[in-house]
Amino acid sequence: MKRHSVLSVLLLVPALLMWSAAALPAAETIKIGVLYPLTGGAAAEGRELRAGAELAVDIANNVMASIDMDMAKRAGISSLKGAKIELIMKDHEGNPTLGADLAKKLILDDKVVGILGCYHSSVTKTVSAVCEQYGIPMINDSSTSPALTARGFKWFWRTTPHDVTFTHDLFELLKGLTEGKVKGVPAVPKAQISKLASACEKTEWGSQVSDTIEKLAKQYGFDVSKSILYAAKSADLSGEVRSLRAAKPDAMLFASYASDAILMVKTLKAQKANPKIIWGQDAGFEAPEFHQTLGDSVVGILTRTVFAPKVADVKKVAGEVNGLYKERVGHDLSGASARSFTGVQTWVEVLQKAGSTKPADIQKAANTITIPGDQLIVPWKGIKFATSGDDMGQNELGSGIIGQYQKDKSGKLVLEIVYPFDVATAPMIYPLKGF
């Protein structure tokens, strides 16, 4: 071959390679709209939710051999030619009307294939109604009002257990105290823990928690002597705490977001409240800001959750993901971030099963999917959604845990598991030491 011919071929090769690369279709990007409270009274929880969701997307979009779950090995949605997940994140500020407006924009302007969110049950209520109207799938990772899955919606699925399950766990713990089932605590006469008082923030979520506490208290033979609904994001809770103290309850029960939970405990301490038990319905009571702000004041306080770092002791994949999260964020996964991670993971597996972004195909996949428990970082049996009845769209395989803030041998504040009894990681502190 002549020299000028060789040069012509050599010059042509890069051009051919560039043409070939341009001719290859890029992997599709699948947009999922995400609605969380990134500002306002629940911004602390919102930051956790966002971080958990973003970590799950990174794992789903890339091969991470150190993570022992299916979505970490595919580098995208393999049934959709390696399509990548893109989260379109919006801040609903805890405002149900704003949430609904943002959902419409995500559907109509951003062309998302579905929605994830919204933490506040009141916001989830309005956003899910928009999704139902437009026939767009919504996976709810973190709202716990039982009413949300009692509406018969066809485009709504919830991965987390709801507050009936979580509050049932509370009363099983109280019952277990009377039966000597709690690790490290001799049986407690029921008369010593039968009197309860509750204070819950007055929105969809808190109101439902308050009602559920009263209903289950009757079933289990406990007496709710005081039940308070207070305005969320209150600047002063002195009056509410005085009312609680006046009732002289054995246990105080709360449903509060982070800013309220911190203020409530500070006020309890200032007024020298001395219940035997303080229990929080997750949310503010397990947000990192709660124990970071209050320090040793939280020792002995109980919170329901779906995740505690101690889960990693019995579940390998939980430790693997928690380690990654801690590297990125600087602290352990919380119940909020674990639930948002699991919400994104559910979206990934539903899309993988559907092999399509058409709403009807996603709907069919969600209604027939079973995600095994060994794939999850939360200690559930798995994810499988009810397709009929009063809990339509509810994950039937979820469960809760109750943690208690304690000090470990090194003096570090940790969340030990005290319920379920068979997975308890430390003896329970009972009674709670006074402030």
Residue 17 structure tokens: 């390679």
Residue 27: predicted pLDDT:
59
Tell me which of 1-5, 268-272, 287-291 is least confident.
1-5
Residue-wise pLDDT tens digits, 321-349: 999 999 999 999 999 999 999 999 999 99
Q: If pLDDT is split at 50, 70 and 90, which confidence band does 422 have?
A: confident
Is residue 293 located within the same domain as residue 321? no
Tell me which of 130-139, 353-362, 404-413 is least confident.
404-413
- Decide if pLDDT at 10 tops 70: no
Here the CATH number for the domain that contains residue 321 is: 3.40.50.2300
Measured CA to CA, the distance from residue 142 to residue 307 in angstroms comes to: 12
Q: How far is CA 183 from CA 23, 64, 110, 173, 378, in A?
A: 65, 38, 51, 11, 22
Q: How far is CA 212 from CA 215, 218, 294, in A?
A: 5, 10, 28
Is residue 118 located within the same domain as residue 70? yes
In a domain, 3, yes or no: no
Counting beta carbons within 10 angstroms of the beta carbon of residue 191, is it exposed (0 to 12), middle (13 to 18) or buried (19 or more)?
A: exposed
- Asked if residue 307 lies in contact with residue 124, where contact means CB atoms within 8 angstroms, the answer is no
Is residue 75 located within the same domain as residue 157? yes
Measured CA to CA, the distance from residue 217 to residue 210 in angstroms comes to: 11
* Strand order through the sheet with 156-158: 84-91, 29-36, 114-117, 138-140, 156-158
Helix (H) or strand (E) holding 372, with range, is strand 371-372
Q: How many domains does the chain have?
A: 2
Question: What would the mean pLDDT of 208-213 be, rounded to a whole number?
Answer: 94
Boundaries of domain holding 265: 164-305+400-423
pTM of the complete model:
0.85
Residue-wise pLDDT tens digits, 382-397: 999 999 988 999 999 9
Measured CA to CA, the distance from residue 373 to residue 401 in angstroms comes to: 15
Residue-wise pLDDT tens digits, 138-173: 999 999 999 999 999 999 999 999 989 999 999 999
Q: Return mean pLDDT, the chain.
A: 91
Q: Which residues pair with 84 in a beta bridge?
A: 29
Is residue 51 located within the same domain as residue 119? yes
Is residue 71 located within the same domain as residue 170? no
Buried b or exposed e, range 158-184, using 16+ CB within 10 angstroms = bbbbbbbbbbbbbbbbbbbbbeebbbe
Is residue 76 located within the same domain as residue 136? yes
Is residue 59 located within the same domain as residue 157? yes
Is residue 374 located within the same domain as residue 414? no
Is residue 210 located within the same domain as residue 228? yes
Find the angle CA(221)-CA(223)-CA(225) to the nearest 5 degrees: 175
Buried b or exposed e, range 299-328, using 16+ CB within 10 angstroms = bbbbbbbbbbbbbbeebebbbbbbebbeee
